[in-house]
Structure 1
């Protein structure tokens, strides 16, 4: 059994034995574990905090945007060492934002998309770097009947993930994960000792694999050239280039999860984060995202890793997710997630940043 197998097995075990709905991270878990998603992608081994017997794992997806690789809203996005609660003046009045303005912003960004992406010559590699902070924690008990009865604590883990992809994507890939600092205590209704956090084996290390298959023993098995795998050029080649058709595809693809706006928005963002979407498709992809119910334009500008753009937000009572788009180039800069008013982790104030991630992509001469 691989580290990933063990981590996912533990995650499923917790979910089966603990009636608590892991609402705060439901989308991340479903996207990673659903049979209807891409067969084992590199983001599948997102580190999971493994706790003692009767403790439920809470892997809240929080990442800080700094580099490109593999759900946001105030001005400057918090980095690994910044405050986890948005400073006064940073919070966006989502209720005052208009859907029309979000459509306008995404359409404008789409019109600025470069007509061609930086090519990867034979023998070279595309390096995708994702730098961010992620919320992790442990919980005790169940919040099904009484959210206040849930006990636990949450930490923020700074981490950088780099993935080298050869010009021939059927060749060997390299994925390197590095914890870049000490976990930072966000808060809890138990002591830090009771909710002690220990990074898992999948938080660090190097993994190599043909076609990005870093865990060859895991199921479902990853297949080179699979048109259903967004690590493969075949995936993007088969997608339509019409915004309405792309919107319909997202709705169908997320059907097993109810085709909710949250599921569609998260899936659209995850595919962008993979860093492999060609420019011509990315332009129409933005226009498709603008059609999702509830998508609004963040007030003011959003900054991640020193790069400023427009923030496109989708919020519900559980969390608020923001993706940031470069207005000048149409590049996807990154995303972040903030706590909503009805989170199960009641010890986290509304507006607490639980994920902030920056994405960059470059072409390099060699692997590693």
Structure 2
């Protein structure tokens, strides 16, 4: 914003300043967005606060839509926010490369969704999930997941309200033990060099599940969906939206037992508002078909993307379908692609390395 210099050179008292300056803005931050921002900030503080013993990690799923959501910011505030991220990511030990500057969010054509092929599409997806050959992790092994991701940084700045900024697409690797007690995250540019620990003594739950916990969940779609609604009551913008989001969080950085995976898709098909989108693209540029649901409050549609022929899960995308928080329809605010999912014999080991169990 260009401000004209005042013609008066003498100092002004507070009353005159108040009269000359424009009224402060009053950006609205929804409860859902506020809680998401708060969760991210608290998780970073908990992960990085010095302690005599490793602090329990919060949820293992990605902290999505990080930093400032739905709030216009100045260029100086934006720079400060990214500096804060670099400092908290450093954890007080090791070094972290400079966080890459955000980029303008991609914009795509919004394709309408339909329920016409929902039942048949979900059955194809469930059948593919049931036939998944990823081995079950054993004691001492780790679940390894490599993804390409990009999350929302800011909806817009006061310098240019037409631009929504997102993280550049980058690689994220996660290792988790079956019991959820040990883990590691490597996300160059966003975490210290070499990564950070995800070790935790927190009991597993739907909000932060382990493989062993997932094995205890019912595989009957109706019973599973009932449990999801019950345990997420009062969260999110609506019960239906939160149920869909909870299932979606299990698809990215988790290894779900095959029978449960199939049940999750069949349960999701029963959530009101779920539709099929015939064409969608993941963060790796792979085209596929999607199951999608619109968050009526925030105005974005979350899409789970599957290969159109094999129906294997590829990744996810969140596309703004209604103008909200300064974000224009068609803007992609979250984007992921699962590049590799395997079981390995050691933490920080990658598939194909000597001694891997995958």
Query: Take 2:156 and 2:324, find their aligned partners in 1: how far apart are those partners?
Result: 13
Query: Take 2:324 and 2:67, find their aligned partners in 1: how far apart are those partners?
Result: 19
Corresponding position of 1:320: 301
Corresponding position of 1:40: 58
Corresponding position of 1:363: 343
Deviation at 1:363, TM superposition (A): 3.4
Q: 1:332 to 1:288 in 2, by over 3 A?
A: same
Give the alignment partner of residue 131 of structure 1, picking from 127, 141, 148.
Answer: 148
Query: Does the alignment pair 1:154 with 2:164?
Result: yes
Query: Take 1:33 and 1:288, find their aligned partners in 2: how far apart are those partners?
Result: 32
Deviation at 1:33, TM superposition (A): 8.6
Would the aligned equivalents of 1:115 and 1:280 in 2 still touch at CA under 8 Å?
no
Query: Take 1:138 and 1:319, find their aligned partners in 2: how far apart are those partners?
Result: 12
Query: Does the alignment pair 1:106 with 2:87?
Result: no
Corresponding position of 1:85: 107
**Deviation per CA, 1:297-343, whole angstroms, max 9, x where unpaired?**
10346455254432111124511211112355553221111123231
Computing the radius of gyration over CA atoms, which structure comes out larger, 1 or 2?
2
**Deviation per CA, 1:78-130, whole angstroms, max 9, x where unpaired?**
xx9997011xxx43123xx2x24223211221022215532446655332122
Corresponding position of 1:290: 269
Query: Does the alignment pair 1:223 with 2:207?
Result: no
Corresponding position of 2:174: 163
Would the aligned equivalents of 2:105 and 2:164 in 1 still touch at CA under 8 Å?
no
Q: Secondary structure at the match of 2:234?
A: helix
Deviation at 1:45, TM superposition (A): 5.1
**Deviation per CA, 1:138-165, whole angstroms, max 9, x where unpaired?**
7689xxxxxxxx9696322123221123
Deviation at 1:295, TM superposition (A): 0.6
Query: Does the alignment pair 1:341 with 2:322?
Result: yes
Q: 1:245 to 1:121 in 2, by over 3 A?
A: closer
Corresponding position of 1:234: 212
Corresponding position of 1:263: 242
Would the aligned equivalents of 2:147 and 2:336 in 1 still touch at CA under 8 Å?
yes
Corresponding position of 1:311: 290
Query: Does the alignment pair 1:173 with 2:214?
Result: no
Query: Take 2:247 and 2:206, find their aligned partners in 1: how far apart are those partners?
Result: 14
Bigger share in strand: 1
Would the aligned equivalents of 1:322 and 1:336 in 2 still touch at CA under 8 Å?
yes
Alignment root-mean-square deviation, CA: 4.1
Unmatched segments (≥5 aa) in structure 2: 1-24, 44-55, 83-101, 349-358
Query: Take 1:102 and 1:29, find their aligned partners in 2: how far apart are those partners?
Result: 33
Point out the more displaced range, 256-265 or 227-236. Answer: 227-236
Q: How does 1:1-20 map to 2 (within 5 A)?
A: 20=28
Query: Take 1:320 and 1:308, find their aligned partners in 2: how far apart are those partners?
Result: 17
Structure of greater relative contact order (alpha carbons < 8 Å, 6+ residues apart)? 1
Would the aligned equivalents of 1:314 and 1:321 in 2 still touch at CA under 8 Å?
yes
Deviation at 1:272, TM superposition (A): 1.7
Query: Take 1:44 and 1:58, find their aligned partners in 2: how far apart are those partners?
Result: 19
Unmatched segments (≥5 aa) in structure 1: 1-16, 60-79, 142-149, 180-201, 214-221
Deviation at 1:358, TM superposition (A): 0.8
Deviation at 1:58, TM superposition (A): 10
Q: Secondary structure at the match of 1:265?
A: helix
Would the aligned equivalents of 1:55 and 1:139 in 2 still touch at CA under 8 Å?
no
Query: Take 1:160 and 1:230, find their aligned partners in 2: how far apart are those partners?
Result: 22
Q: 1:234 to 1:168 in 2, by over 3 A?
A: closer
